[in-house]
Amino acid sequence: MKWQEPNKKNPHLYLPLAKANPNQALSSCTINPKLSITVSDKWLKIWHSPNNSSTETLCQNLLILLEPLAELSILSQKKISIYSKNEAHDLVTDTDIGIELLLKTWFNNQLPKHKLIGEETQKPILKSSNICWYLDPIDGTSNYASKKDNFCINLGSTYNGKPYINIVYHPKTKTYHYQTPKKTSYQALAKPEKTICTEFYPHRTHEKTMYNSILKQTNWKPFQTQALGISLYEMMNGKCSAFYKANAKPWDIIPGAAILSTSNYWDITFITNQYQRLSLFSNNPKFINYLNECFKENCRIGTLIITPKNNPAIKEIIINTLQS
C-alpha cells in the first residue's frame, strides 16, 4: 500500500518507507500499518494549512509537527530496517529517511522560499539571502539502531547571519529546547559540570589520543553520548562545560550551538576547513559558496568549539591540541 496524507477521515500518520532511497517521492513510499500514529485536528491544520505569519508561531507549529514524528521514531525503533552508507559504521534507517521526507514535503508545501538541507536527501544550492534550514531526522543513528535512547531530531536554521529558529527534540523523554529571534527555552546553569565532550567513532584512535590529552591537560572528566545533537542537548542541561567537534556536519551542530548561543555564558568558536574563524551562522557570500562546495563532497564544514567565556584557557587547550 502506498503512503497517503493524513486527513480528518483518516487521521493516521504513517511512516513512509523508502527502502533506503532518500530521494524517492513521498507518494511512492510504502507503509506498514503498524507504524502509524493518530494525529490531532490541530496537527492536521498545521500539516495542511498552518499560520506561519511570525517566527514565534512557526516555531510552535514545528514543535507540534515534530511530536508525532518523534513518537513514530520510538514506535519504529524495534522494527525498522537498517542500512549502511559509505562505511559500515555509517548507518541509516527507514526512520531517518521517512521523517526527512515528511518534513521536506511540509517545507516544500508551506515554506517554499526556504531552503532545507537534510542529512539524507539531495542538497539544494544556498544563497546568502536564503533562510537556511538544517535537518538531522535521527541524530545518533547508531544509538537508535542499537535500541538505545540517546537520539534526537535536530532542526535548525540561520537567516541574515544569525540563528533563526532552532530545535533539538528528544523523543524518548518528549522534551526539547528551542530558540527563536525573540525567545528561548534555554537558561544556562551557573555551574555546569566540569566535563568535556566530543564524539568520534571508536576506531578513530588519533581522535581518542587527542581527547585523552585534552582531558589530562584540563583535569576535567569525559562526557560522551555517541550523538552530537544529544551531547549538545545535555550541555544545555548542564551535563558538561566544554564541547568540541572537528570535521562536523552542519545539521549535527547548528541547532544545538544556536540554542546555546542565546546565553552570554558561552564562547562559541567555529573554524572552517580552510582555517578561517567566523560565525557558524554567517551568511557571508564566500561562506555560503564554501558550504555549497562542502555539500558536493562529504558535507563536513569545520570545527566547532564551545567553552565558558570565564575560562578561556580551556578553549586554547582544545585548539592547540587539535592543531598539534
Rounded to whole angstroms, the Cα distance separating 322 from 89 reads 23
Contact 139, 154 (CB under 8 A): yes
DSSP 71-90: HHHHHHTTT--EEE-SSTT-
In angstroms, rounded to a whole number, what is the distance separating the alpha carbons of residues 52 and 54? 6
pLDDT of residue 87: 57
Give CATH 3.30.540.10 domain extents, the chain.
Answer: 12-179
CATH number of 195-323: 3.40.190.80
Biggest distance spanned by C-alpha atoms of the chain? 62
Residue type, 317: I
Q: Of 171, 148, 176, which Cα lies nearest the Cα of 255?
A: 176
CA distance linking residue 170 with residue 175, whole number of Å: 5
Q: pTM of the predicted model, to two decimals?
A: 0.95
In the chain, % of residues over pLDDT 90: 91
> 98: which DSSP letter?
H
Q: Average pLDDT for residues 11-15, to the nearest whole number?
A: 97
* Helix, strand, or coil (residue 152): strand
Residue 97 · residue 120 · CB < 8 Å: yes
Please name the residue ranges forming H helices in 7-87: 41-48, 55-76
Q: Give percent of the chain with pLDDT exceeding 70.
A: 98
Per-residue pLDDT of 94-140, as tens digits, reads 999 999 999 999 999 999 999 999 999 999 999 999 999 999 999 99
- SS3 of 125, please? coil
Query: pLDDT grade, residue 56 (50/70/90)?
Result: very high
CA angle 60, 184, 268 (to 5 degrees): 130
DSSP state of 28: G
Question: Over 157-206, what HEC string results?
Answer: EEECCEEEEEEEEECCCCEEEEECCCCECCCCCCCCCCEEECCCCCCCHH
- Of 88-102, 191-205, 245-259, 271-285, minimum mean pLDDT range: 88-102
Cβ atoms of residues 20 and 94 within 8 Å: yes
Domain 12-179: give its CATH architecture.
2-Layer Sandwich (3.30)
Is the Cα torsion angle 157, 163, 169, 170 positive or negative in sign? Answer: positive
Region for residue 133 given its phi and psi (left: phi exceeds 0; alpha: psi -120 to 50; beta: otherwise) = beta
DSSP assignment string, 230-261: HHHHHHHTTS-SEEEEEEE-HHHHHHHHHHHT
Encode pLDDT of 173-230 as tens digits: 999 999 999 999 999 998 899 999 999 988 899 999 999 999 999 999 999 999 999 9
Portions of the chain given CATH number 3.40.190.80:
195-323
- Please tell me the distance from the alpha carbon of residue 44 to that of residue 46, in angstroms, as a whole number: 5
Q: Which residues contact 173 (CB under 8 A, 6 or more apart)?
A: none
